[in-house]
Copies of this chain bind each other. A is one copy, B any other.
Amino acid sequence: MTTTDVAAPGELDKLDEAGLRLLFTEARTANTFAPTPVTDEELSAIWQLAKWAPTSANTQPLRVLYVQTAEGRARLVPHMSEGNRAKTATAPAVAVLALDNAFHEHMPTLLPFRPEMRDMLEANEQMRTRLSSFNAALQAGYFILSVRAHGLAAGPMGGFDADAVDGEFFADNKWHAILVVNIGHPGESAWFDRLPRLDEAQVVRWA
């Protein structure tokens, strides 16, 4: 697929105010959810949107396990931190985001002009791990904003036993859980007070 026709030089739009509010300035991590279901189609669409944003050398190491059945939920919840169990048990949908430590097997397809990257990465575990951990986290950021783009609230959680989740769901592959994201329509009192952000002078430098 080529998209050389999408934009002439210099002609990009800006995101409108509604979009800025939806994705960034007024979007919040949801802590409760309405009972409205989230469909498999919506979950599929969240991935289908997030996939387009860029990764280093087109590596795309992020994988997604959607836990939609009651049986799946019962397998996941015990591995969440205690404070996250009730939320995870009651959210309409739950995504386990994972990195694939065998992502390099796809390099001949993903980067057809450098197929040798597969063997190079097979032989270099340090570089492989660096690429998969960085780019899967980068894609997790895209994923969270894609949830919001679909009119849904995201509740990302780092508090869970990743090794136990890997053992429970990923014993047959090389996936490694990095983030669990509750997904749904916000419920009553869904938002905590917004926490502070660092001042620009603490974050941004100029050279």
Binding site for B on A (CB under 8 A): 1-4, 6-7, 9-16, 18-29, 34, 36, 40, 43-44, 47-54, 56-58, 60, 62-69, 71-72, 75-76, 106, 109-112, 131, 133-135, 137-142, 144-146, 148-154, 156, 158, 169, 178, 185-191, 193-198, 200, 202-207
Contacts and interface: CB of A to CB of B under 8 A. Distances in A.
Contact of A203 (B12, B22, B63, B71): B63
A1 B194 contact: yes
Given A9-B185, A15-B19, A207 B138 contact: no
- Interface centre among A15, A20, A48, A142, by most chain B C-beta atoms within 10 angstroms, is A15
B24 A49 contact: yes
Number of chain copies forming the complex:
2
Contact of A3 (B28, B49, B154, B200): B28
Contacts of A49: 20, 24-25
A195 to B, nearest CB: 4
A68 B207 contact: yes
Nearest to A146: B24
A199 to B, nearest CB: 10
Given A23-B15, A36-B10, A144 B204 contact: no
Nearest to A157: B56
